[in-house]
Structure 1
Amino acid sequence: MKEIKVVVASKNPVKINCTAAAFKKVFPESRILVEGISVPSGVADQPMTDKETLQGAQNRAENASRLVPEAHYWVGIEGGIDEVHQSMEAFAWVYIVSSTRRGKARTASFDLPPQIQQLIHKGIELGVADDMVFKRSNSKQKNGAVGILTKDLINRAEYYEPAVVLALIPFVNQDLY
């Protein structure tokens, strides 16, 4: 059985678990080893545009590749916010690097409630704003805003996992990319 070593550019268990689940789906004949490491994103703690969020995911993946060069894949996942269509949307970018190619994909987006928007406008990170509004602790390492707002119909790991799969498209269709 082929062994694939994947490094997630985060110690967040949600990001590690969703990456492991996605890689196991995409490479079912392989043994997937996933490790999380802390690396800087090079962007604000709360990215406020689509472009900044993508840059954070890319920076994380590339920083992880320099720290653990023996891995096969490096994954950066960055949650962000953008103000579009008179609302504030939350989403995340996934950026995956290997020695030969790159892949990226964005999650679906969803509108944030006005009370959370107000806190974010005051400079408070989404995860902290969620904890304040919903009287929780460390929700970003649990079900996150998406889990809270969907009443756990979609938790944070389930939300990220399809984007990890989509970011792997260039790796499983190498003849096309």
Structure 2
Amino acid sequence: MSLEDVRVAVGSVNPNKLDAVKRAFKGFAGFGSLSFVSVASPSGVSDQPVGYEETLSGADNRALGAYGGNGYGVGLESGLVPVAGTDTGFMNLTACVIYDGKRFHRGVGPAFELPGEVCRMVVDGSCELDEAVHRAGLSESRRIGYAEGIIGLLSGGAVTRADYMVPAVTMALVALTAYGKGGSHA
């Protein structure tokens, strides 16, 4: 796939999301000149989605809202999804959706289990993830998602929030390029 002067609009003003999208697109073969912009695009779901469907729906909405009539709209949404056999019953994952004006191309990244107290606060709806991390005493920041993210905190900086989101964007790019090369999406 060879594309020239492609506008990539990220449906968030969070710098980590913009960074992850830039890194994934630039590391993916076949794209020509790219310009990246952040667009405030609401998710249309809970501040902290719970469940795979709600998380993916938030990413869909952000991608659609960011799309400006050309290029791509990209939505990233992190949420807690139920996973049997974990201590908390949930894992945090990021979904990415790339909208090309005709189709949604989806991917998800790796997942990890949150500390129990943080997970309980989010799942019971008392607060979203950033606030739960703060209330649990894990960070002084009330907006850790705009910094290293909880993954950066838990990994001691080995993995930042942007690092964590790049695989989700890459998987959505796989779907985009597979479709562009004759793959079928039902």
Structure 1 172/84 Cα, relative in aligned 2: closer, same or farther at 3 Å? closer
Cα deviations by residue, 1:15-56 (Å, 9 ceiling, x for unpaired):
001101111111465222110111111111111111100011
Change (3 A) 1:166 1:122: closer
The aligned residue for residue 27 of structure 2 is 25
Aligned ranges 1:88-127 → 2 under 5 Å:
88-120=90-122, 121-127=124-130
Are 1:40 and 2:42 an aligned pair?
Answer: yes
Q: Which residue of 1 aligns with 2:7?
A: 5
Kindly provide the amino acid, as one letter, of the partner of residue 101 in structure 1.
R
Partner of 2:138: 134
Aligned letter for 1:136? E
Equivalent pair of 2:108/2:167 in contact (CA under 8 Å): no
Structure 2 SS opposite 1:134: coil
**Residues 111-164 of structure 1: per-residue CA shift (max 9 Å, x gap):** 111121232225210111123321331210111111111111111101111110
The 3-state SS of whatever aligns with 1:2 is coil
Give the length in aligned residue pairs.
Answer: 174
The alpha carbon displacement at 1:99 in A equals 2.5
Alignment check: 8 A CA contact 1:107 1:163 kept:
yes
Normalised by the length of structure 2, the TM-score is 0.86
Secondary structure of the residue that 1:109 maps to in structure 2?
Answer: strand
Runs of 4+ in 1 over 6 A off after TM superposition: none
Aligned residues of 1:40 and 1:60 also touching (Cα < 8 A): yes
- Contact 1:24/1:30, CA 8 A, preserved across alignment: no
Q: Which residue of 2 is the match for residue 162 of structure 1?
A: 167
Percent of aligned pairs with the same residue? 29
1:73 aligns with 2:39: no
Quote the RMSD (CA, aligned, Å).
1.7
1:162 is matched by which residue type in structure 2? Answer: P
Question: Any unmatched runs of 5+ in structure 1?
Answer: none
Q: Which range moves more in the overlay, 23-32 or 45-54? A: 23-32
Give the structure 1 partner of residue 154 of structure 2: 149
Contact 2:25/2:31 (CA < 8 Å) preserved in 1?
A: no
Report the Cα distance in structure 2 between the residues aligned to 1:159 and 1:117, rounded to whole angstroms.
18
Return the alpha-carbon distance in structure 1 between the equivalents of residues 26 and 115 of structure 2.
Answer: 35
For residues 69-99 of structure 1, give each alpha carbon's deviation from its aligned partner in whole angstroms, at most 9, with x where no partner exists. Answer: 2x30100000101233252211111011102
CA contact (8 A) 2:98 2:106 kept: yes
Q: TM-score, normalised on structure 1?
A: 0.90
